[in-house]
Amino acid sequence: MEKAVDTITDVGCVYGKSKFIIISIILLIFIIILIIFYIRNYKKSKLYNKTTNGIIKSATCNKSVDQDNLENWSCTLEVEYEIDNNKYTIKESINRYKKINDTINIFYDSTNPRTATLTNYTTSSNMIGIISLALIIVFIIILILIFFLFKFNTFCKFFGTTTGALDIYHTFK
């Protein structure tokens, strides 16, 4: 009987360690992707470093209704804005309803005011940064758990016996 428990414990330890390692690798890949998006948005937020208001000169909007009966808008806008007595026009799509003569925020490059967008990259960059930080903390916690699994055999035996027994139970159920 003791040999069976040891086998179950060993199977559970290997299973537990491999599960934590696989979860860590997946989480690490996800964190790397988020950090890439953060860097991309951060660079754009630095590029579009000034804000002004523009007037919508033309708007083509389409409404759709999803399965939850919520309205979704997609509008292609042509917006005119003025920087240092020079008028510029931008054409861009947004996901909210706007009409002609509405005022809208323009984010533009101070060195080249012709380069502009309707998207506030600072807000999205900050949100991605917060999510990345939270996931990095979770990743560190998982690494600490993996360390305890490998370092202290008693923790592994407890965890291994529990998961090994549950796996065997579910396999032969």
Question: In whole angstroms, how far apart are CA 10 and each of 20, 21, 67, 165, 166?
Answer: 15, 16, 48, 11, 13
What predicted TM-score, i.e. pTM, was given to this entire model?
0.54
Residues 46-105 pLDDT 10s: 778 888 999 999 999 888 888 888 888 888 999 999 999 999 999 998 888 888 999 999
Distant-in-sequence, close-in-space partners of 22: CB < 8 Å, separation ≥ 6: none
